[in-house]
Structure 1
Amino acid sequence: MSTDSSPKAAKRRPDRAALVIAVALIAVAAVIFWDVSRLGAIASYARIGPTTVPNLVAGGLLVLGIWTAIEAWRGDFPEREHQEMGPVLWIVGGLAAQMLLLKPLGFSIATGVLFAMTAAGFGKRKLWLTLPIGIAFSFVVWVIFTRLLQLHLPSGPLEALFF
């Protein structure tokens, strides 16, 4: 029995992370197919109904999941670079902060915090500059959605100050 320690032999092992992604894609496709099956034939006289697009999305996810599983099993994915956790934590922290601050402080401030923390994750650590810029951009978005499009976004003290 010989042992092959060449780089090709190491490359042939299944990529476990990609297999997990493939399983997740297939699971999401299955959930979408199940949910669409509960809709039934609402508009049976038309070829395109409320189930058409979800079925296409689920089918696409299923194909991608199978394709990812095959490529993972073959070990055909390129070797991944080392992941820096600092930027990821800044962005995930920004998302968590937005979710926690959205109701008490409103859309503009919560999304401004997300903007500033995402900028910090990308290397712009001047929070004293990125936070007001993010709040200003978010306030403009809030005005467009709430006043022009008549869609509801959570308001807070900043929005109440102007409207």
Structure 2
Amino acid sequence: MSPDRNKTEQRRPDWAALAVAVVLAAIAAVIFIDVSRLKGTGGYSQVGPATVPDWIGFALIGLAIWTVIEAFRGDFPTRDKQEIGPVVWIVAGLVAQMLLLRVAGFSIATGVLFGLTAAGFGKRKLWITIPLGIVVCLFIWLIFAGLLQLALPAGPLERLFW
């Protein structure tokens, strides 16, 4: 490879990093739009319900600008090849949780998510990870519903205990 060609390749922006910068800026824009409805509720104080979301929005804008600069400088490390299998396991777990949440309740739905996410990380023994996830999530449900009085979706398993 010639030295001139190598310089040309190095000057090319990192398109994935630019896409990340656009997403960061879009999230910041959504935050600013949403916060604009809260500006008048601060009352006499300078600190109100819009203060922290404003900080987060400005931080995201700063990160977006920084990401654009780094994308043009080419300082990002080379990325590994994306493995599709683990992503599919985790997305399947999220879909299963959304579909099961109202029918089976929090513990079972989130336990299935736990098991499928563990499979995405390489622990493919679903007969162990799903029941373990259900037990852990039932404990979490009991804490949130019982002690904190928060309303989480209850299924047949939760009705046995509450």
CA deviation digits over 1:74-122, x for unaligned, max 9? Answer: 2221110111111111111111111111010000000000010011011
Match of 2:116 in 1: 117
Moved more, 10-19 or 53-62: 10-19
Query: TM-score, normalised on structure 1?
Result: 0.93
| Deviation of the 1:37 alpha carbon | 1.6
Match of 1:159 in 2: 158
Q: Given the alignment of the two structures, is residue 106 of structure 1 paired with residue 105 of structure 2, yes or no? A: yes
Aligned runs of 1:7-156 on 2, under 5 Å?
Answer: 8-156=7-155
Q: Following TM superposition, where does structure 1 have runs of at least 4 consecutive aligned residues deviating by more than 4 angstroms? A: none
| Deviation of the 1:30 alpha carbon | 1.3
Normalized per residue, the structure richer in helix is: 2
Name the CA distance, whole Å, in 1 between partners of 2:112 and 2:106. 10
| Deviation of the 1:9 alpha carbon | 3.6
Aligned-residue identity in percent = 62
Match of 1:4 in 2: 4
Please tell me the root mean square deviation across aligned C-alpha atoms, in Å.
Answer: 1.5
The unaligned stretches of length 5 or more in structure 2 are: none
**SS in structure 1 of the partner of residue 39 of structure 2:** coil
**SS in structure 2 of the partner of residue 4 of structure 1:** helix
The unaligned stretches of length 5 or more in structure 1 are: none
Query: TM-score, normalised on structure 2?
Result: 0.94
Count of residue pairs the alignment pairs up:
161
| Deviation of the 1:3 alpha carbon | 7.5
**SS in structure 2 of the partner of residue 27 of structure 1:** helix
